[in-house]
Structure 1
Amino acid sequence: MKKWYRIAAVVVVMVAVIAMVIISGVRRSGESEYTRNTITMGTAASFTVYGSHGSENIDGMLKLIDSLDKDVLSWRSADSEIYRVNTTYKPDEDITVSSELAGVLKQTLDISRAHDDLLDITIRPLADVWGIEDGRTEIPSQADIDSALRLVDVSKVSVDGDTLRISEPGMMLDLGAVGKGYGCDMAAEYLKGTDAAGACVALGGSIVVYGSKPDGTAWKVGVKDPRAGEGTTMGVISFGDGETAFVSTSGDYEKYFEQDGRRYHHILDPRTGYPAWNGTIAATVVCDNGLTSDALSTLCMLMDKDKAMKTIQEYGAEAVIIDEDKNVYVSEGLKDRFTITAEDYKLAE
């Protein structure tokens, strides 16, 4: 039996997920709280800001993030730099890009290079063959997978200053593995220039909590239950008053189909050409940088649990990793902050 989520259904589900992910305190009378749920960067988004200019702050963040997506990062938008690169580059010729795009590419490539090029921003030809993001529910032929894999090799991409170079024809860059996290970085940076006391911004699977809530209670971020319906959580991470933190989650439950008892999801392994299957069904990463948290949550899905935990430590990050038997592995720095709330999950030793 096959199961799938088409794009419209995915958006509905993600709105419900975000509604549960941010667990906020009760607002006291007279406090200024502004909340907006919308769509940006091709995903469901939620903004909550505490402060007298919260509505304007949300407008400003949305304008910034929309521009980032449409003008810089989106491989779909005909007006973006990435689209221009993908459609006009010539092998081994220098391409001048904006300092913003160069910075995102360099940070992402540095993480990828440090981990055997496993975080592959040239994955788009393979993703197109599978078509899981667009609701396709058929396994591609091995010939089509092999053909696409010939165009997937991040080692052929380099950045030097504001100069980008791609050494093979027919490749396509896709920053989907880091874009939402970087959007959270931009939201946090924007908030620093405002009078907002606190805020929580969720872009799909990436979240930033910033500053303080008016009631002085901790920020609480729910971890999605990867084997339950929309709007469910299996645990909660608490953050101290005044703390700014970035949280990103990747899992095999967002966009997928099932066939012959196996789940085919959208996180593709550039080594095999197939969805990542290593026993991990969801990974949540917490750190002080949104792009890094987003990148690491994807890497955790592509690595076995032990290697993933070692990688997290390299970046001074923390993680909650869930395996297919519902065992929950929590890094040392989160053990006093994370609480399991679903009975069928158990904390692993």
Structure 2
Amino acid sequence: MMKKWLYFVMLLVVASSCKKQEEHRFSGYIFGTYYTVTYSGKENATLQGEVNAALCAINDEFSVFDSASVVSRLNRGEEISPLPEDLIRVLELSLNTSRQTEGAFDITAGPLIRFWGFSPGEAEQNHDTLRVLDSLRQMVGYQKISIENGHLVKSDPRIQLDFNAIAKGYAVDKVAELLEQRGIQNYVVDIGGEVRTHGEKSSGQAWRVGIQIPTETRDGLVESDYIFEMGGKSIATSGNYRNYKEINGQRVSHIINPSTGYAEASPLLSVSVIAGDCASADAYATAFMVLGIEKSMKVLEHHPELAAHFIYYENGQYQFQQTGNFPAKIQK
């Protein structure tokens, strides 16, 4: 059997060994992944409990894996009035990102995701039939939903919402808001590699974040390729390195093109996006995986507030491209 090589990017908060004031850290588990909160200053004994409660509340609203969540109820056609404030905020951000990326980001792509088997529910077996995809595409389209007076309006009742490509980033932002409400101004929030920073480390230096490229080798070697300073920003990464299936011998990415319905083959392996908030970074990273580098760079020309780093495979080698405003690599 041919050996499989799996290349992926994950984010690492680089720790400091020099501390001039107290630095505190706690971790937990949410959304099927681990989270870590690091902050400087006076320790808050109740903070972890508050963070856990906030994250569970987000999960109760957005999870498509929980049949009792708000999103699952909406997908079953239940009327929820008024919609929760967090859901409205994420809906509005999602629809705006969809418009900015010509639908490359689309929270109504749930039927297509289930078709390919990356979300709960039965995955259709006829993966090679255009007829099934043509039918499902009629149930997809961000233009078919809107918010009116705090209500979700669907032009097609079959529309299904799936916030997996933005909810984790939004959860990072909610934790950051909570920290600042508690008077904490120097922190890093990391949920499954999606990161938001503010202020500085206990040493007075800027927070450092690393984009890693682990390479599957015989000795399991993992090397961090790109470490940079990031203050007051968020970063999220999207790629086809973890969640994929093989159908008829073909590797199928979990990044699905909402327009075609296909998980299209692409040399683009990973996109990391820096933005002011993590929900936006999360959404645009997903959209850029769909668009590819050339179209993504055109979108980025109109969004100087964003920075992006691309990893792709070409001519037998792994290549890198980034926007001019992406932070410079710190030389070791």
Structure 1: distance between partners of 2:331 and 2:224? 9
**Contact 1:122 1:173 (8 Å CA) reproduced:** yes
- Residue 140 (str. 1) matches residue 123 (str. 2): no
What are the ranges of 5 or more consecutive residues in structure 1 without an aligned counterpart? 5-13, 342-349
Higher mean C-alpha displacement, 191-200 vs 114-123: 191-200
Structure 2 residue 302 is matched with structure 1 residue 310? no
One-letter code aligned to 2:209? V
SS class of match (1:155):
helix
Count residues in correspondence.
320
Which structure 2 residues correspond to residues 217-228 of structure 1 after superposition, within 5 A?
A: 217-225=205-213, 228=216
Higher-helix-fraction structure: 1
Q: Secondary structure at the match of 1:58?
A: helix
* Matched-pair identity in %: 25
Match of residue 329, structure 1, among 312, 321, 324: 321
- Equivalent in the alignment of 1:196: 184
Give the CA deviation at 1:35.
2.3
**1:271 and 1:226, CA in 2 relative to 1: closer, same or farther beyond 3 A?**
farther
- Please report how far the alpha carbon of residue 162 of structure 1 lies from its aligned counterpart in structure 2 after TM superposition: 1.3
Aligned residue in 2 for 1:344? none
Encode CA deviations 1:198-247: one digit per residue, 9 max, x unaligned. 221111242111222111222111113165469653322312xxx31110
Shift of 1:33: 2.8
Distance in 2 (CA, whole Å) between partners of 1:245 and 1:140 is 40
Residue identity in the other structure for 2:57: S
Superposition map of 1:247-262 within 5 A: 247-258=235-246, 262=250
CA contact (8 A) 2:146 2:153 kept: yes
CA contact (8 A) 2:271 2:310 kept: yes
| CA displacement, residues 124-146 of structure 1 (integer Å, 9 cap, x when unaligned) | 11111211357x9x882424434
Aligned to 1:58: 48
C-alpha displacement of 1:328:
0.9
Return 5+ residue gaps in structure 2 as ranges.
Answer: none
Check 1:2–1:54 CA distance in 2 against 1; reply closer, same or farther (3 A cut).
farther
- What code does the residue aligned with 2:329 have? F
One-letter identity of the residue aligned with 2:15: S
Matched residue of 1:332: which SS? Answer: coil
Q: Assess if the C-alpha contact under 8 Å between 2:77 and 2:157 holds in 1.
A: no
1:111 to 86, 97, 107: 97
Q: How far, CA to CA, are the matches of 2:26 and 2:222 in structure 1? A: 17
Query: Which deviations, in whole Å up to 9, do the C-alpha atoms of 1:3-35 show, x marking residues without a partner?
Result: 99xxxxxxxxx9xx87x611121153x843332
Give the aligned residue type for 1:113. R
Name the structure 2 match of 1:84: 73
Q: Distance in 2 between matches of 1:129 and 1:202?
A: 31
User: Does 2:25 align with 1:39?
Assistant: no
Per-residue deviation at 1:103? 1.7
**In the alignment, structure 1 residue 168 sits paired with structure 2 residue 160:** no
Residues 288 and 277 of structure 1, relative CA distance in 2, 3 Å threshold: same
Amino acid paired to 2:13: I
| Matched AA of 1:140 | H
Distance in 1 of aligned mates of 2:2 and 2:126: 11
Cα distance change of structure 1 residues 23 and 86 upon mapping to structure 2, 3 Å threshold: same
2:68 and 2:3 map into 1 onto residues whose CA distance is 34
**Residue pair 1:53, 1:195 contacting (<8 A) in 2 also:** no
The match for 2:111 is 125
What amino acid maps onto 2:237 in structure 1?
A: T
Of stretches 191-200 and 106-115 in structure 1, the one that deviates more from structure 2 is 191-200
Report SS of the residue matched to 1:247: strand
Cα distance in structure 2, aligned partners of 1:295 and 1:129: 21
- Structure 1 length normalisation: TM-score? 0.81
Instruction: Find the counterpart in structure 1 of residue 197 from structure 2.
Output: 209
| Deviation of the 1:340 alpha carbon | 8.6
Give the corresponding residue for 1:347: none
Are 1:233 and 2:224 counterparts? Answer: yes
TM-score of the two chains, using structure 2 as the length reference:
0.85
Displacement after TM superposition at 1:294 (Å)? 0.7
1:320 corresponding residue in structure 2: 309
Is the contact made by 1:180 and 1:291 (CA closer than 8 Å) also made in structure 2? yes
